[in-house]
Structure 1
Amino acid sequence: MKTASFPSLRVDPQLREDTENVLLEGESLSQFIESAVRNQVSLRKANAEFLARGLASRDKARQTGRYVDADNVLGKLQKTLQSGKTKRAKA
């Protein structure tokens, strides 16, 4: 597969300097930018999927009339969080 390139990007000189100052040893500016773009693409896909699941859940609840009380959900989440903290403290 052939590679493609992104358009040239003009930035403030301070942003370029700040970026160059955080590069890891042996990392190029191009590698950093590619990594940043990949991370943002992944994050945005995950956010879109999360939103789609939420909207589907909302629609299903409206169709069935079955809802879960927010206090029940928060209580279960709190128990899960506490369980994780307890396991982590023991480790």
Structure 2
Amino acid sequence: MKTSTLPAVRVEPELRAALEAVLGEEETISAFVADAVRRAVDFRRVQGDFHARGEAAWLEYLRTGVSHPVDEVFDRVQARIDARRRELESRIGR
């Protein structure tokens, strides 16, 4: 797969100095920027999916009028968190 170039970005000298100060030993500015862009794209995708699920849930509520008490929702979320935590702890042998 061919790569392409992102446009050059002009920044204040202070920002560039701050960036250079936090780079890893073998890390380049280009690698840092590519990683930052990749993470921002992933975040925006997750954020968009979150909003789409929220909109779908809202439309489903408007269609059916069925809702769930906040305590019930929080309990289900907490149960999922607890189950995932147990799964991860069993993998590392705690």
TM-score by length of structure 2 reads 0.79
Counterpart residue identity of residue 67, structure 1: S
In the other structure, the counterpart of 2:71 is 71
Aligned-pair distance for 1:74?
2.1
Distance 1:28 1:79 in 2: 42
Moved more, 63-72 or 74-83: 74-83
Distance 1:51 1:72 in 2: 21
Aligned-pair distance for 1:75?
3.2
Aligned-pair distance for 1:81?
4.9
CA offsets per residue over residues 50-86 of structure 1, 9 Å max, x none? 110111011112111111111221233345556677x
Distance 1:29 1:15 in 2: 12
Distance 1:30 1:38 in 2: 12
5+ residue gaps in structure 1? Answer: none
The number of aligned residues is 89
Counterpart residue identity of residue 61, structure 1: Y
CA offsets per residue over residues 3-22 of structure 1, 9 Å max, x none? 21111111011110110111
What SS does structure 2 have at the residue aligned with 1:27? coil
- Identity fraction in percent: 35
CA root-mean-square deviation: 2.0
